[in-house]
A and B are shown apart, each in its own frame.
Chain A
Amino acid sequence: MKDISFLAKWAKKFWKKVPDQVVRLSIPILILIIGFIVMRNLLVPSDFGKYGHFRAAAIDELVSQEIQYSEHEMCFECHDDVVKAKNMSYHRGVECEVCHGPAAAHIEDPEGNQLPAPRERGYCPLCHEYLPSRPTGFPQIVSESHNPFRACVSCHDAHDPKPPTVPKECEACHAEIARTKALSHHVYISCIRCHKTPKEHNIRPRAHRPEKPSTREFCGECHDEKAPSAKGVPRVNMETHGERYVCWQCHYPHLPEAH
């Protein structure tokens, strides 16, 4: 009790000592501080900072966006025969909606929202037109010379894409290599001269792969100094020329750079 009365006395004394201008100034400062707190409470949304330095409602606004591309399994519910065939084919990695477009609206109302099927000639070349930038081995065509003006679907089934007939030429699939070789000194050497290819490779290319040369002596059959080949063929001494390596570690056989 004594302490409190002492404190009160001290406060009274202190307050009397405070100059008048300080008291007057403290009033607008107090109003400013209270005003700031009130305005902050009013202006900053209550959910701000719930999950981080942002409005929690902003997340919900984003998440409420409509989904256009649906789940792949949904196609199977009605089109099981097509999906099954596609999943066995080379196009098994290509989802239905890649070609047919977003299907969420179609699943909601299958009759009212029919999906388009691109049947015109311009669509397939988006992936399959020959471009040097595309990875090696990806099946490509040059549409200018590949049955001009005919729709792709008149020969190929997009759900089970296979060449309509067994290709006679290697070029049908290995276009990039064929084009490179056509510009090289090896242009007149046929593919099977170096790659022993089983007949089944034309029908089931991945199950029956062609062979590749495995020894330096194979190249030496033409390029050795003593080889019985034509006069213009460049020759090296197989004993001394890069003996530690096989030929294709330095030379690319489809485009040999030596002149």
Chain B
Amino acid sequence: MKEANIERRDFLKRLIVSVLSFSSPGLLKAQEKSKESTSLYEKGYDPEEHLWGMGIRINRCIGCGRCADACKRENDVPRLPFFFRTWVERYIILEGDEVVVDSPTGGVDGFKTHVQEKKLVRSFFVPKLCNQCDKPPCVQVCPVGATYKTEDGVTLVDSEYCIGCRYCIQACPYGARFIHPRTHTAEKCTFCYHRIVKGLIPACVKVCPTQARVFGDTKGRASPLVRFMRMNKIRVLKPYLNTEPKVFYAGLDMEVK
């Protein structure tokens, strides 16, 4: 057989040439794609001027779940009851320090009366979402650098880089992340980044009928959030983890984990 007599040196030469010629169009294309971007940050929005945060007044939340519903509509989150960027939990504290936490369909369809035999001590609703940590564990564990923190303090996901490995879901102490069933990449609350950079407030804050959610800038200027943080005794979730969340709760019960 003649082909079998090809020399090693020749074979290696041809191999290198063919690999390069096959891969070069893809490489060049990737290069071009990145050049197309025109940045929004150059159109008048300066991320260094802001540091976004959210305040939640527990004793105003009526558990209507309109925030979870609005979030799904605004951000095209699947309506199935296990994909949430924000959701509402109901805490029921019974006699004997028994704590029942439930969140049927994340609160989107409201809450039904919880039937229990023991006597009720206290009960309340806790809206939850990504805490937009100042030291986000999810960013630390991402093996491909797909999740990142912007200068205005919002943690975001680059869905083109995300490989869907679920490390960040494991790392998040607040259970705020999920894998989108269509894109198979990690997703989470973005503080409605597409709205806040245009001067609007997040959809969940907008629809809250009792103004239990407050949104604004924590950076010095007068904003509803600065006022909220001055007038209330505030707490964050799991402070012992040193994640330094930027979602602040007023009137948070000690049983809330």
Inside 8 A of A46's CB, which chain B residues have their CB?
Answer: 31, 34-35
**A57-B37 in contact (CB<8A):** yes
A218 at the interface (CB under 8 A from B): no
B210 at the interface (CB under 8 A from A): yes
- Whole-angstrom CA separation of A60 from B193 in the bound complex: 10
Shortest distance in angstroms between A6's beta carbon and chain B's nearest beta carbon? 42
Of B117-125, B164-172, B234-242, the one touching chain A: B117-125
Give A82-109 as 1s and 0s: 1 = Cβ < 8 Å from B's Cβ atoms: 0000000001011101100110000000
**B31-A102 in contact (CB<8A):** no
A185 at the interface (CB under 8 A from B): no
Closest to B41 in A: A51
**A59-B39 in contact (CB<8A):** yes
Chain B residues with a Cβ closer than 8 Å to the other chain, count:
59
Inside 8 A of B73's CB, which chain A residues have their CB?
Answer: 68-69, 101-102
Closest to A136 in B: B59
B150 at the interface (CB under 8 A from A): yes
Chain A residues with a Cβ closer than 8 Å to the other chain, count:
47
- Whole-angstrom CA separation of A43 from B200 in the bound complex: 36
**B34-A59 in contact (CB<8A):** no
Inside 8 A of B197's CB, which chain A residues have their CB?
Answer: 63
**B161-A58 in contact (CB<8A):** yes
- Whole-angstrom CA separation of A133 from B159 in the bound complex: 38
Of B7-15, B64-72, B216-224, the one touching chain A: B64-72
**B60-A135 in contact (CB<8A):** yes
Of B78-86, B173-181, B201-209, B225-233, the one touching chain A: B201-209
**A98-B209 in contact (CB<8A):** yes
Shortest distance in angstroms between B234's beta carbon and chain A's nearest beta carbon? 18
Give A29-60 as 1s and 0s: 1 = Cβ < 8 Å from B's Cβ atoms: 00000000000001101111011111111111
Contact partner of A133 (CB less than 8 A), chosen from B33, B47, B111, B209, is B111
A131 at the interface (CB under 8 A from B): yes
**B37-A133 in contact (CB<8A):** no
**B62-A63 in contact (CB<8A):** no
B190 at the interface (CB under 8 A from A): yes
Inside 8 A of B161's CB, which chain A residues have their CB?
Answer: 55, 58
- Whole-angstrom CA separation of A72 from B120 in the bound complex: 40
**B151-A67 in contact (CB<8A):** no
**B209-A61 in contact (CB<8A):** no
- Whole-angstrom CA separation of A254 from B206 in the bound complex: 36
B156 at the interface (CB under 8 A from A): yes
Inside 8 A of A130's CB, which chain B residues have their CB?
Answer: 113
**A60-B110 in contact (CB<8A):** no
Inside 8 A of A47's CB, which chain B residues have their CB?
Answer: 34-35, 37, 39
B211 at the interface (CB under 8 A from A): yes
A65 at the interface (CB under 8 A from B): yes
Inside 8 A of A60's CB, which chain B residues have their CB?
Answer: 37-40
Shortest distance in angstroms between A52's beta carbon and chain B's nearest beta carbon? 6
- Whole-angstrom CA separation of A185 from B141 in the bound complex: 58
Inside 8 A of B40's CB, which chain A residues have their CB?
Answer: 59-60, 63
Show 17 A/B contacts (Cβ-Cβ < 8 Å), sorted by A. A45-B31, A46-B35, A50-B39, A51-B150, A52-B149, A56-B39, A59-B156, A61-B159, A63-B194, A69-B200, A95-B207, A97-B207, A98-B70, A127-B62, A131-B63, A134-B63, A135-B60
Residues on B lying within 8 angstroms of A by beta carbon are 27-28, 30-31, 33-41, 47, 59-66, 70, 73-75, 90-92, 110-111, 113, 120, 123-125, 145, 148-151, 156, 158-161, 190, 193-195, 197-198, 200, 203, 206-207, 209-211
Return the 7 tightest CB-CB contacts between A and B, nearest first.
A45-B34, A57-B37, A54-B148, A58-B158, A133-B123, A65-B194, A126-B110
